[in-house]
Amino acid sequence: MRTTIELSNEQRARLLDIAARRGEKGFSRIVQEAIDHYLEREASRADRIEAALSLQGVLSEREADQFRASISRLRDRWR
């Protein structure tokens, strides 16, 4: 399917440079790869969010307090 997208001159130049290094005339394949990567990442992100939300309420109040304290100690050492 053909479509039109807005690119800055710098983006277009960089895409054409990448395409040339790959021996391609245009950058359509690069844009397709970038879109595929983005869509996969978004699907993975949604799956990770769903998995994290499914854990809500798994820890007891005591375990949650211990976990928070442990994270707090780690953050204090990190700074």
CA distance 3 to 10: 20
Q: Which residues contact 27 (CB under 8 A, 6 or more apart)?
A: 12, 15, 16, 18, 19
Structure tokens at 28: 């359509």
Its pTM stands at 0.60
Condensed to tens digits (0 to 9), the pLDDT of residues 1-31 reads 899 999 999 999 999 999 999 999 999 999 9
pLDDT at 31: 97
Mean pLDDT of the chain: 94
Structure tokens at 57: 């309420």
Per-position b or e across 28-39, b if 16+ CB within 10 A of its CB: eebeeeeeeeee
Structure tokens at 33: 């790869």
Condensed to tens digits (0 to 9), the pLDDT of residues 32-46 reads 999 999 999 999 988
